[in-house]
Structure 1
Amino acid sequence: MQYFPWCWFSNMQFIGAGGFSAVYAVVLSLPYEPQPVRMALKIVDDKLLNEIAVQSKAFLPLLFQGLTVCESTGDLMMVMKLSNDGNLEDHMEQLPLGDLDLKTITGTIMRLAANLADLHKVGVCHRNVHPRNIVCTDSDYFLVDYRFATPSRESSSVTSMTKAVYGRLPYVAPELRQGVYTEKSDIYSLGVIIWQLVSKVVFPSPDVLLDGSKGDKEDQAEHVYRIEPLPGLPLWYQKLFVACLEPRPENRPDATDIYQALQPIHESLSYSVPLDQRVTEYIVARRAEVANHQRTFAKMKHAISASTTRLYTLSNLPKTERFISLPFTRIPFSTLWSDSFVQNTSEITL
């Protein structure tokens, strides 16, 4: 782990709070490099010590570069690559019709699956996978925020013992209500993201998502934010995200399964081949539904809180299964995927 002297940093600017810790943009001038580089500094608290341990163990060459100590405050700070392009959720929000070719989408999924596979390989569960914890830098995506990560063998016992979970709806797997958290719970969260990469539906804060206002079915939150089959996609894509969201964890793929399943498909795809027109029409229609619902909610409630990770007790963890309307097979992924290749991989869903 590299230590960076404080005198190498300049032009420090506060840019926000990552989780519960302040984050600053800085210029790093390395004495052995001709050009300064933009980096990020994140103040380390007790929770971030866990993040340092996980990142240094699983992701040495990625975002986490080392440590420094602020001379004026004495704060220990993580030195990280600066995320130039924000997070995945911002990207979907701002560019709903961007990245609509399967080569780009499968590449993103493979990168995230590789991140999770590296983490699971060292025996750690992330426990807080959602699009705001996926940052884009140098045209690549990285999974971040390991404050709540725990050893895989201890994740369920920690959840059962504390009777609480940090998470963001609807990325929390259903088995958590029974105090069960495994690596397959991380996969469930990834499954929601795989669906979002095409649908471009961005989920709001729990007060909006769980809004119980009565009215026409089309105006109710569980309809507006429904997770359903996507039209105009190859059948294998739907089978992938449906498998990740299977109610029983043992039927979901692991991260390595996802990567290996997509690799030959990704290599066979060409760049800049647009998706079926039905996909674009679907995105536009769903975004209009969401915008209308949030306008109505804001008029009635006068405010919409930020969609962030929250602490839930197991007894009050909301059920989100009603948002999901998918054709689950209830069979293991290995069987499902081998069967799918009996069919033409270019077969399109209706």
Structure 2
Amino acid sequence: MLRDDVKPLSASPQLAKDSNAVDNLLKISFLRNYALPLIMRDPSLYDLDAFYNHPLLSFLTATSPKYDGYEAAFEQYDIETRQVYSGDIDSVYEWYSCWRLVTSVKMLTILGLDLFMDSVVERYRMPKAHSQLLRAICDQQNRASWSEADYLSFFPSLWFISDGELGYSGNSSTQLAIFNPPYRLRDSTPKMYQHYALKRVDPDLDSELVLLTSSDFQVTLETFYHGVTVDADGSLMIVMAYSEFGNLEQNIARSRPTRWKEILEMMEDTTGHLCVLHSHQWIHNNLHPKNILLMQEAESPMIIDFAYARCIQGDEQVHSTHGRHPYIAPEVLTQGHSTASDVFALGIILWQLVSRVTFPDNALLDKNVHRIEAVPGMLDELWAIITSCLSNNPAQRPTPEHILEQLTQLHRLHGDEFINDETMAYVDSRAKDCDDYIMSHRISRESAFSTNLTDDGIIHTASVTRTSNERLDCYLSLVEC
């Protein structure tokens, strides 16, 4: 479970006054003795042409070492870091993480925000809305102290090689890209720096950018959001960590846990992330398994995609009807989104973790095939938690903190127990029904975003995130509890 006091998966370089003094000196040494000499060989590779004659850079590089190339520079860096740490250090990882510091938005804008912005806007012909967002990120990073956040980097677009589509919604798509910066080492690159996921920014939905630049969320987000880049058409893109282990929806569809421990741990971690979000007065507004990424195989789920997230006060609600069916709470049409509507979505996810049923984004939903009901043989206490989350009355739904407390107790009492044969048979039967249904009901991507009013007056919408669900009162209800 990830909380504010839990360390991120990997530490990144920081210049905090209270951090290790030797480590700080190495970061400063890296900037002057390695990064600047290499960058100034060809600043255009870093989109830093405008700074070529910058007085500070000229001064710093005047007496810097000269290298035949990046591999030669790394060999010297490897020797230096191993001497300082007596060999007990991953110098390859440190090499890449130090470059994160050097190419950080904060570091670049220290040299001159206006000069940096003018150069980037002209180079990429950025639309005004996207350039304004980039400036906002730069301003936010400059206001933060070095100790408050991981470093959001600005990555030149030529550092990415497209490697296919990862996903889409009604507003944007996410692309997989090979990461190929000038400083990439030929023989060894940490897995986290081999690929990135690039998500196009919608200027009308800039909550994700606001959230990822907030120091309140760095413990949750710093291992996932790495920075920004610009697409060929000038659109700003968020650079995110890529997980080869996929998202929770994929995990639900492909795995079959045999002990309750496996399910309860996933439930606890997911609920813990929602606790962090709500503790900072933010609601997610689009919570579903595709927006929960697995950072390790079958574990470490992390809630992502904050495009629709909003900061609220107390019982405040966000009056919008976007979302992905059936994760939209019944009161959203009249009352809007709230922390309680996040809890409703969480309840659907908890049920899926037991039933292993997923809702297709390439077929219309069917009330029988995709029904949400009690799973035979499941823990009675767990079903009670799920039904409380799915209450039609939002005031009667528990808080994520209360859910987490109950899940932790169940884990302690039943974690080592095997899932019984009755439950396993139900899971297999539901999976077969869903697979058979898809074979004859698959539709196109374009159709998935259209409404389909049937003779019974119900809109059997496909399970995709929609920016507008104006007839939410006509949507098919799947919950049978």
User: What TM-score results when the alignment is normalised by the length of structure 2?
Assistant: 0.56
Alignment of 1:24 with 2:152, yes or no, is: no
- Report the more deviating stretch, 253-262 or 62-71: 62-71
Cα gap change, 1:270 to 1:257, in 2 (>3 Å): closer
From 154, 172, 191, the equivalent of 2:347 is 191
From 392, 405, 419, the equivalent of 1:247 is 392
One-letter amino acid of the counterpart of residue 13, structure 1: S
**Residue matched to 2:46:** none
**Residue matched to 1:146:** 306
From 375, 380, 391, the equivalent of 1:230 is 375
Larger radius of gyration: 2
Alignment of 1:128 with 2:286, yes or no, is: yes
Query: How much does 1:223 deviate?
Result: 1.9
CA offset digits 1:69-104 (Å, max 9, x no partner): 349665543232212111111222233xx2342112
Cα gap change, 1:120 to 1:30, in 2 (>3 Å): farther
Alignment of 1:103 with 2:103, yes or no, is: no
- Report the more deviating stretch, 16-25 or 106-115: 16-25
Q: Say what the alpha-carbon RMSD is for the aligned residues.
A: 3.2
One-letter amino acid of the counterpart of residue 405, structure 2: Q
Question: Aligned pair count?
Answer: 305
**Residue matched to 1:285:** 429
Q: Is the 8 A contact 1:156 1:180 kept in 2?
A: no
Query: How much does 1:247 deviate?
Result: 1.0
Q: Is the 8 A contact 2:363 2:438 kept in 1?
A: no
**Residue matched to 2:201:** 44
Cα gap change, 1:168 to 1:155, in 2 (>3 Å): farther
Query: How much does 1:253 deviate?
Result: 0.9
Cα gap change, 1:170 to 1:100, in 2 (>3 Å): farther
CA offset digits 1:130-173 (Å, max 9, x no partner): 111111122321111111112234996641xxxx4111111110
- Report the more deviating stretch, 26-35 or 74-83: 26-35
Query: How much does 1:7 deviate?
Result: 6.4
Distance 2:432 2:174 in 1: 35
- Report the more deviating stretch, 102-111 or 198-207: 198-207
One-letter amino acid of the counterpart of residue 395, structure 2: E
- Report the more deviating stretch, 186-195 or 140-149: 140-149
Alignment of 1:261 with 2:406, yes or no, is: yes
Q: After superposition, where does 1:1-350 map in structure 2 within 5 Å?
A: 2-4=151-153, 6=155, 10=159, 12-16=161-165, 17-19=167-169, 20-27=172-179, 35-36=189-190, 37-38=193-194, 39-47=196-204, 49-57=206-214, 58-61=216-219, 62=221, 63-70=223-230, 75-95=235-255, 98-139=256-297, 140-153=300-313, 158-159=318-319, 164-205=320-361, 208-209=364-365, 221-270=366-415, 273-298=417-442, 305=448, 307-321=463-477, 323-326=478-481
Distance 2:437 2:243 in 1: 31
Q: Report 1 or 2 for greater relative contact order, CA contacts < 8 Å, sequence distance ≥ 6.
A: 1
Could you tell me the percent identity over the aligned residues? 26
Query: How much does 1:35 deviate?
Result: 4.0
Q: Is the 8 A contact 2:323 2:469 kept in 1?
A: no
Q: Is the 8 A contact 2:156 2:229 kept in 1?
A: no
CA offset digits 1:243-296 (Å, max 9, x no partner): 11011111111111111222233244555x530001111011112222333334
User: What TM-score results when the alignment is normalised by the length of structure 1?
Assistant: 0.76
Distance 2:312 2:357 in 1: 30
**Residue matched to 2:73:** none
Cα gap change, 1:188 to 1:42, in 2 (>3 Å): same
Q: Is the 8 A contact 1:127 1:167 kept in 2?
A: yes
Structure 2 counterpart SS, 1:66: strand
Cα gap change, 1:47 to 1:259, in 2 (>3 Å): farther
One-letter amino acid of the counterpart of residue 399, structure 2: D
Query: How much does 1:311 deviate?
Result: 3.2
Q: Is the 8 A contact 2:229 2:236 kept in 1?
A: yes
Distance 1:69 1:52 in 2: 13
Distance 2:230 2:475 in 1: 44
Cα gap change, 1:257 to 1:297, in 2 (>3 Å): same
Cα gap change, 1:4 to 1:177, in 2 (>3 Å): closer
Mark the runs of 5 or more structure 2 residues left unpaired by the alignment.
1-149, 449-461
Q: Is the 8 A contact 2:283 2:339 kept in 1?
A: yes
Query: How much does 1:198 deviate?
Result: 1.1
Mark the runs of 5 or more structure 1 residues left unpaired by the alignment.
210-220, 327-350
Higher strand share: 1
Q: Is the 8 A contact 2:321 2:336 kept in 1?
A: no
Query: How much does 1:6 deviate?
Result: 3.1
Distance 1:7 1:311 in 2: 31
Q: Is the 8 A contact 1:152 1:183 kept in 2?
A: no
